[in-house]
Amino acid sequence: DSLVSIDDETTGDYSSNTFNLNNKTILDSTGAFINLDIDYDIIDNTSASDQIFNTLNTSMEPLHAPDKRFQDIGSRNRLFGVKLDYQKKFTTWKIDAGLKYSQSNIDQTLNQLFDNETTLKKVCFCSAVPYQNLVTGSVKCFHNHEVPSLYH
C-alpha cells in the first residue's frame, strides 16, 4: 500500500483578441446585396508547471526519492477568415453565391523534464500547423414556390 502526494505550482498567461469587420451593401431596389465578413483571431497561451510526486508508505514515510516533472507549454494561434456573399432576387427565382477563404496558423509546444535519482529526460513536442482553406460558393436558382421561407 502506498500514497502519492503531488506538490504542484503552475503559472500561466492567456490572451485572446478577436477583430471583426462586417459590411452589407444593398445594391438595388429589389434588395440585391453583397455581404462581406472579415475575422482575425489572436490566441496566445503559456504555462509553466513544476510538480513533485512523493510516494509514501502507510506510515507516511517516503518509499523513494521524489519524482519531479517540469513542463513549459506554449500555444500561439492565428486564425483568419474572409467571406463574401451575393444575393439577387428575380420575379420567380433568385441567385445566391458566396466565396470563403480561411487560414489557420497553429503553433503548439510542450517541453517536459523528468528528474529522479536515476533518470533525467527531456521531451520536446513542437508543432507548427499552417492550414489554408478556400471554399467557393455555388449559384442556386429557386423557383418562387421552392424558396424556403427564410429567403422571402
| Average pLDDT per 10 consecutive residues for the chain, totaling 152 residues | 82 94 94 95 92 86 83 86 90 86 82 63 56 52 47 44
Q: How far apart are the two ends of the chain, measured CA to CA in Å?
A: 72
CB proximity list for 70: less than 8 A, separation 6 or greater:
48, 49, 50, 51, 112, 113, 115
pLDDT of residue 22: 96
What does the pLDDT read at residue 39? Answer: 96
Strands 33-56 and 140-141, bridge-based pairing: unpaired
Per-residue pLDDT, 145: 47
